[in-house]
């Protein structure tokens, strides 16, 4: 028997209509680039607008794009920083039945062109600071018919098909009647970071966008409401900024965007001046913020962050030491969240269960895990033969996931082997190695490809890294496998010390030894000036492995030349 | 272009699996009836269990019901109070692919039988306190094959097809693999209260249940998380207890059930002893609680309700005076919510917008409205010709609603005229007269049939009632239309004074006159000992109108005999 409820579709225009009709007065604040100082550093200008104006401009953008002849399902790319204009595209593009394709601005121009071509984007919205790339992009991307430049440009743009975004929006008629949309229609797409092979496209639907917003908003997730002010430092080209622009709009929270200003001082100042209650970013950002908060506190001029309730950390694992440092030194609560481009992204959040003190040792240990699922997401761990493993908090296995905002395939059917059937249900293989415990806590041990296999047993590089990074002299650490004639692989720690500090292998090993089995401990430590970081802020372990694979513990502790940064 | 996200269905078993795997240790507390005291009043016994046990028993119930030969879509009725057993049915019955049909225990046995027959229920779960009705129900309901009695019975049940629920659950094998469910399959059904005509069935789907839980949980709605303890006083037979059993389970909140103990003292004690953070009920319940809190405070023995964050009030409008009284005298925050059986029920919640002090005059005035929509719900107001009216906070019109948890029809296709097409979209006509303002605040003025039409203009009985109920001597008030030779209809106030108090028509009119146009003021006031209340706690205005239709203001202020209670 079917029920008799209305078949109302879950679509992005319902979010746009909400800010227009219920939250029109709520603010959107953006740090834009006003110019450059004498050192060539960008100078910020604070821009304020409202949801009412954003909604009006988003509807004009939608009307304008359809006026260009775009039809349902056509892709509109953005190469843009976090700002109100990007938010307008988030809301306006899908509401026109088009697909918002956010491109990572940190990629090499050749990769950007490859992705624009692969997605067959017909329109590109490009931030003025990247305008110099336009001729090369135009030359490389035959599908691109129109380019709109976000923000003021120094002079008129003489290229055909290139025009000013603000003028385009102002001169377009607003779309007042949205096209009929099926909730399974495409709304947005992102490409995976592609640390191996070509990037792959993940196409989000209207349904997945709305469900993700609903499921991530409550208390034990992002905890977003109308009274909140949210600063997503996570870039808007990165998995829809973890869905925050949509979630905040749905619930009427004020949004603050930092644009290119993600350094510790800029972030701390923005958090304070806009009375931010919730912010979100990768661990690197919070390391920068922590250093700035420490500096200010030691200088006797602490920032006023009394209203800051929650710092969401994701993208890669937050070390327990960092979570403790924020809590104990600044009274600030970090909430770890986990997801992937393929999962829209929210899969888990690491609040403590009822009855556990978040600031107890058990609390901190749980908060350093990836956490428990948000509603409608299922996780499991499998062995190499594809059999389900026990959820005992100890047994490591390949982490698999399913849910209504998890990809069922990549764009154009690529990467099929990541999607598979288990007991009649479709699952996605995350490529992570993890444990699950009796209460559902998931703890990522490693990327499958980064796992160290020593004498047939698995060693988690992530656990060792987090432990080593808790040492006061360590800035950053990567633990990788080096070849070993006896054990096949053995762990090697690659460490950058804090400025002006040093540390020995023996000191590090004594520091972490109480927490690990003896055979887990790295055989050697390499001190280096820098560790290569990729475009999404993750350590490029592949490069480190290439460099140190044949390193031997018999070489002892040495400081080789810093490896090249590959960006 | 379609997106490529997994087609995972939104179903009740995902909620059941959540409490089983993530929240197994969280408590469910129920007040059961241990016996009767010398006056015949029920004596409470507090029962404690956990989500883990509830989940196990729910899966056994599911397995047992399928073992009886029930198949997908078959209806399982409950005639039960709020308790962990009812919660097991909430989770277990839909997870078996069956339809949970909650029947109003306050209806007349003939109406109950009519509804059981109309729904063609094959199984009935009946609370032990109603066991005396079993022979009559069996005789009247040929579709009923099995009756399970909830809670201990004084002696073995000798009737064929009647057995003990607990034994049935214990002896059944748990269902471990749920049937394949489409999210549009029926999950639960409720009948409308039917103040006019026969009751009509509304069939909720798995999709509407899950979406309702997701959308109602965030901050500006119910604000439910794992750390919360929730006491739904609203009966579980009334629109799925406003979805709370599902929402709380989805997010891991502890649930507390009061069973038959809904008087002020029982509720206050339970709120205090179980450290409840969120509770929900109709205004009548909160009037009782308020009186008890006042009494205790005056006696110098106030209850300890420091952790009580939110009292959700719905079912009928909460007078502003009551919202103010809780806030100012006890520091407790009432949140008005609005919905109907046909809307699952949550349509709006009346938090104040950002920037408005909830305890200011503006704040209280907004909180006394029905509020703004939760995500995915749309409202509009129409004139008599079906044209859309302005959202100006003044223009009254017929309130219409659409959304993914709003009914598209009644069971068996009855009441078609309530569902209609407007600009290509399906809407439901609520039968309410309301205003909408620029910020989206909805304010119900009346049921369409209760509206008073005086000289061609509309007068809201609800507004007058709320104003009159703010008078310190008034206990309850209903304003109804009396026939008038000149104006067609004129308002008449029917008032029950507080015990030992009295009030005159002139006193009431001077009290409310500053707030209304002169022609809105009632022409006369009738004092009475009691006002008839229906089975869902609403005033039976139809009876009052029948009684007083031909009353004339020239009769002055009189006190006629109390009308019969029609229950």
Is the pLDDT at A120 greater than 90? The verdict is yes
Structure-token match 């699950």, residue found = A436
For B276-334, how does the pLDDT look when each residue is reduced to its tens digit (9 = 90+)? 999 999 988 999 999 999 999 999 999 999 999 999 999 888 889 999 999 999 999 99
Interchain proximity A372–B402, CB inside 8 Å: no
Domains of chain A by range and CATH?
12-261 (3.40.50.12780), 375-448 (2.30.38.10), 451-555 (3.30.300.30)
The verdict on A5 touching B (C-beta cutoff 8 Å) is: yes
Average pLDDT of every residue of chain A: 92
> Range with the lowest mean pLDDT among A363-367, B381-385, B462-466?
B462-466
Query: Could you give the 3-state DSSP secondary structure of residue A72?
Result: coil
Contacts of A339 (CB under 8 A, 6+ apart): A239, A242, A314, A345, A346, A347, A348
Contacts of A206 (CB under 8 A, 6+ apart): A9, A10, A11, A12, A94, A181, A182, A183, A184, A185, A187, B3
For B492-520, how does the pLDDT look when each residue is reduced to its tens digit (9 = 90+)? 999 999 989 989 999 999 999 988 888 88
Predicted-complex ipTM score: 0.89
Candidate list B453, B507, B559, B567, residue with the active-site label: B453
Structure-token match 């009307």, residue found = A63
Name the band, by pLDDT with cuts 50, 70 and 90, for residue B553. low
Q: Residue B462: its pLDDT value, please?
A: 84
**C-alpha closest to that of B553 among B462, B453, B482:** B482
CA separation, residue B28 to residues B87, B256, B281, B563 (Å): 9, 6, 18, 41
DSSP-derived secondary structure for A180-245:
P--TTBEEEEEE---SSSS--EEEEEHHHHHHHHHHHSSTTTT---TT-EEEE-S-TTSHHHHTHH
Distance CA B227, CA B225 (A): 6
Interchain proximity A6–B375, CB inside 8 Å: no
Interchain proximity B72–A1, CB inside 8 Å: yes
Q: Catalytic site residue B486?
A: no
Interface of A with B in 539-558 (CB under 8 A): none
Distance CA A296, CA B64 (A): 65
CA separation, residue B560 to residues A163, A393, B76, B396, B543 (Å): 79, 73, 45, 34, 15
- Continuous H helices in B436-527: 461-469, 505-512
Cβ pairs A/B, distance under 8 A: 225
Q: Give the number of C-alpha atoms closer than 13 A to the C-alpha of residue A458, restricted to the C-beta side.
A: 22
Q: What does the block give as tokens for A183?
A: 């909730």
Q: What does the block give as tokens for A1?
A: 């028997």
CA-CA-CA-CA torsion for A537, A538, A543, A545, nearest 10 degrees? 160
Q: Residue B327: its pLDDT value, please?
A: 97
- The neighbour count for residue A196, using CB atoms within 10 Å, is 10
Q: Residue B560: its pLDDT value, please?
A: 38
Contacts of B290 (CB under 8 A, 6+ apart): B264, B322, B325, B326, B329, B330
Contact yes or no for B255/B47 (Cβ under 8 A): no
Contact yes or no for B388/B382 (Cβ under 8 A): yes
Per 3-state DSSP, chain B is made up of helix, strand and coil in percentages (nearest 5) of 30, 25, 40
A78-82, B102-106, B109-113 — which one is most confidently predicted on average?
A: A78-82
Residue A293 preceded by cis peptide, ω within 30: no
Is the pLDDT at A565 greater than 80? The verdict is no
| Strand arrangement, sheet containing A186-191 | A162-164, A146-150, A123-127, A75-79, A99-102, A186-191, A201-205
Is the pLDDT at A327 greater than 70? The verdict is yes
Is the pLDDT at B549 greater than 50? The verdict is yes
Q: What does the block give as tokens for B534?
A: 């229906």
Contact yes or no for B329/B293 (Cβ under 8 A): yes
CA separation, residue A161 to residues A137, A143, A147, A198, A469 (Å): 12, 12, 6, 29, 50
- The neighbour count for residue A538, using CB atoms within 10 Å, is 16
Query: Could you give the 3-state DSSP secondary structure of residue B266?
Result: helix
Interchain proximity A204–B410, CB inside 8 Å: no
Point out which residues pair with A531 in neighbouring strands: none
Interface of A with B in 335-364 (CB under 8 A): 344, 351, 353-355
Candidate list B46, B50, B458, B498, residue with the active-site label: B458
Interface of A with B in 242-261 (CB under 8 A): 250-252, 254
Q: Residue B300: its pLDDT value, please?
A: 97
Interchain proximity B226–A351, CB inside 8 Å: yes
Mean pLDDT to the nearest integer, B20-47: 94
Q: Which residue of A has its CA nearest to B438?
A: A21
Point out which residues pair with A164 in neighbouring strands: A149
- Run of H or E residues at B311: strand B310-313
Residue A333 burial by Cβ neighbours in a 10 Å radius (0-12, 13-18, 19+) = middle
Q: Residue A554: its pLDDT value, please?
A: 57
Question: Which residues of chain B are within 8 Å of residue A439 when distances are taken between CB atoms?
Answer: 22, 24-25
The verdict on B409 touching A (C-beta cutoff 8 Å) is: yes
Structure-token match 């605040």, residue found = B441
The secondary structure of residue B534, as a DSSP letter, is -
Any idea which residues of A carry the catalytic annotation? Answer: 192, 342, 453, 458
Name the band, by pLDDT with cuts 50, 70 and 90, for residue A566. very low
Q: Which residue of B has its CA nearest to A206?
A: B3
Interchain proximity A22–B373, CB inside 8 Å: yes
Q: Give the number of C-alpha atoms closer than 13 A to the C-alpha of residue A43, restricted to the C-beta side.
A: 7
Output A298 or A555, whichever has higher pLDDT: A298
Candidate list B127, B342, B465, B543, residue with the active-site label: B342
Question: Which residues of chain A are within 8 Å of residue B211 when distances are taken between CB atoms?
Answer: 10, 214
Structure-token match 């057993």, residue found = B85
DSSP-derived secondary structure for A326-368:
HHHHH---EEEEEE-GGG-SEEEE-PPPTT--TTSHHHHHHHT
For B413-454, how does the pLDDT look when each residue is reduced to its tens digit (9 = 90+)? 988 999 999 999 999 999 999 999 999 999 998 877 888 888
Question: Which residues of chain B are within 8 Å of residue A8 when distances are taken between CB atoms?
Answer: 376, 402-404, 406
Q: Which residue of B has its CA nearest to A391?
A: B21
> Range with the lowest mean pLDDT among A16-30, A186-200, B106-120, B542-556?
B542-556
For B192-243, how does the pLDDT look when each residue is reduced to its tens digit (9 = 90+)? 876 557 899 999 999 999 999 999 999 999 999 999 999 999 999 999 999 9
CA-CA-CA-CA torsion for A271, A277, A282, A284, nearest 10 degrees? 40
**C-alpha closest to that of A461 among A531, A530, A392:** A531
Question: Which residues of chain B are within 8 Å of residue A224 when distances are taken between CB atoms?
Answer: 218-219
**C-alpha closest to that of B204 among B343, B76, B402:** B343
The minimal CB distance from A8 to the residues B224, B351, B402 is found for B402
Question: Which residues of chain A are within 8 Å of residue B442 when distances are taken between CB atoms?
Answer: none
Question: Which residues of chain A are within 8 Å of residue B9 when distances are taken between CB atoms?
Answer: 404
Q: At what angle do helices B264-273 and B283-298 cross, to 10 degrees?
A: 80
Question: Which residues of chain B are within 8 Å of residue A372 when distances are taken between CB atoms?
Answer: 22
Q: Residue B247: its pLDDT value, please?
A: 98
DSSP-derived secondary structure for A457-484:
EEE-HHHHHHHHHTSTTEEEEEEEEEEE
For A45-71, how does the pLDDT look when each residue is reduced to its tens digit (9 = 90+)? 999 999 999 999 999 999 999 999 999
Q: Residue A344: its pLDDT value, please?
A: 94
Point out which residues pair with A280 in neighbouring strands: A232, A312
Q: Which residue of B has its CA nearest to A186?
A: B3
Interchain proximity A404–B6, CB inside 8 Å: yes
Point out which residues pair with A146 in neighbouring strands: A123
Interchain proximity A1–B186, CB inside 8 Å: yes
The verdict on A186 touching B (C-beta cutoff 8 Å) is: yes
Share of chain B above pLDDT 70, in %: 96
Interchain proximity B2–A208, CB inside 8 Å: no
Query: Could you give the 3-state DSSP secondary structure of residue B255?
Result: strand
Q: What does the block give as tokens for A392?
A: 């005992």
Name the band, by pLDDT with cuts 50, 70 and 90, for residue A559. very low
For A367-426, how does the pLDDT look when each residue is reduced to its tens digit (9 = 90+)? 999 999 999 999 999 998 999 999 999 999 999 999 999 999 999 998 899 999 999 999
CA-CA-CA-CA torsion for A474, A477, A479, A483, nearest 10 degrees? -90
The minimal CB distance from A208 to the residues B5, B203, B376 is found for B5
Share of chain A above pLDDT 90, in %: 77
Residue B326 backbone zone (phi > 0: left; psi -120 to 50: alpha; other: beta): alpha
> Range with the lowest mean pLDDT among A191-195, B129-133, B399-403?
A191-195
Mean pLDDT to the nearest integer, A89-96: 98
Q: Catalytic site residue B342?
A: yes
Interface of B with A in 10-29 (CB under 8 A): 10, 14-15, 17-18, 21-26
Contact yes or no for B265/B292 (Cβ under 8 A): yes
Query: Could you give the 3-state DSSP secondary structure of residue B85?
Result: helix
**C-alpha closest to that of B246 among B134, B94, B97, B121:** B94
Report the first-to-last Cα separation within chain A, whole angstroms.
58
Q: pTM score, two decimals?
A: 0.89
Name the band, by pLDDT with cuts 50, 70 and 90, for residue A196. low
Is the pLDDT at B555 greater than 70? The verdict is no
Report the first-to-last Cα separation within chain B, whole angstroms.
57
Question: Which residues of chain A are within 8 Å of residue B402 when distances are taken between CB atoms?
Answer: 6, 8
Interchain proximity B203–A4, CB inside 8 Å: yes
Is the pLDDT at B92 greater than 60? The verdict is yes
- Run of H or E residues at A56: helix A51-67
Interface of A with B in 81-120 (CB under 8 A): 99
């Amino acid at each position: 028997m079917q029920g008799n409820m209305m078949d109302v579709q879950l679509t992005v225009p319902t979010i746009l209509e909400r800010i227009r009709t219920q939250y029109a007065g709520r603010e959107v604040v953006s740090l834009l680039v006003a110019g450059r100082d004498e050192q060539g550093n960008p100078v910020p200008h604070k821009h304020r607008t409202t949801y009412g104006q954003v909604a009006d401009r988003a509807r004009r953008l939608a009307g304008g794009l359809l006026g260009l002849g775009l039809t349902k399902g056509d892709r509109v790319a953005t190469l843009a920083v976090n700002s109100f204009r990007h938010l307008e595209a988030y809301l306006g593009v899908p509401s026109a039945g088009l697909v918002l394709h956010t491109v990572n601005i940190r990629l090499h121009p050749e990769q950007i062109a490859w992705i624009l071509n692969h997605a067959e984007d017909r329109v590109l919205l490009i931030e003025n600071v990247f305008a110099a790339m336009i001729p090369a992009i135009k030359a490389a991307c035959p599908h691109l018919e129109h380019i709109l430049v976000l923000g003021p440009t120094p002079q008129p743009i003489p290229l055909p098909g290139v025009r000013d975004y603000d003028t385009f929006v102002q001169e377009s008629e607003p779309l007042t009647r949205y096209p009929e949309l099926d909730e399974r229609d495409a709304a947005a797409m992102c490409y995976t970071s592609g640390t191996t092979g070509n990037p792959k496209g993940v196409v989000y639907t209207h349904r997945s966008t709305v469900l993700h917003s609903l499921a991530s908003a409550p208390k034990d997730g992002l905890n977003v409401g109308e009274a909140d002010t949210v600063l997503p430092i996570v870039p808007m080209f990165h998995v829809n900024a973890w869905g925050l622009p949509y979630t905040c709009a749905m619930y009427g929270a004020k949004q603050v965007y930092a644009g290119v200003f993600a350094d510790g001082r800029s972030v701390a100042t923005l958090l304070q001046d806009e009375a931010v209650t919730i912010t979100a970013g990768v661990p690197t950002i919070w390391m920068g913020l922590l250093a700035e908060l420490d500096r200010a506190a030691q200088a006797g001029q602490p920032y006023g962050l009394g209203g800051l309730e929650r710092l969401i950390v994701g993208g890669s694992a937050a070390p327990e030491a960092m979570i403790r440092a924020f809590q104990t030194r600044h009274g600030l609560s970090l909430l770890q969240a986990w997801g992937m481009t393929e999962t829209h992204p929210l899969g888990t959040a690491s609040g403590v269960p009822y009855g556990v003190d978040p600031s107890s040792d058990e609390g901190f240990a749980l908060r350093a895990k990836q956490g428990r699922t948000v509603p409608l997401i299922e996780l499991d761990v499998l062995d190499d033969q594809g059999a389900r493993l026990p959820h005992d908090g100890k047994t490591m296995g390949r982490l698999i996931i399913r849910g209504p905002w998890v990809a069922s395939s990549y764009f154009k059917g690529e990467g099929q082997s990541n999607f598979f059937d288990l007991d009649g249900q479709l699952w996605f293989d995350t490529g992570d190695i993890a444990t699950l415990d009796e209460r559902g806590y998931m703890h990522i041990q490693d990327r499958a490809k980064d796992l160290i296999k020593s004498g047939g047993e698995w060693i988690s590089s992530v656990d060792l890294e987090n432990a080593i990074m808790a040492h006061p002299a360590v800035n950053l650490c990567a633990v990788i496998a080096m070849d070993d004639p006896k054990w096949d692989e053995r762990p090697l720690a690659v460490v950058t010390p804090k400025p002006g500090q040093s540390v020995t292998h023996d000191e590090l090993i004594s520091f972490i030894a109480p927490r690990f089995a003896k055979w887990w401990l790295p055989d050697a430590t390499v001190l280096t000036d820098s560790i290569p970081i990729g475009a999404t802020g993750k350590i490029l372990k592949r490069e480190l492995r290439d460099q140190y694979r044949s390193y031997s513990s018999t070489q002892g502790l040495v400081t080789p030349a810093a490896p090249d940064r590959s960006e």
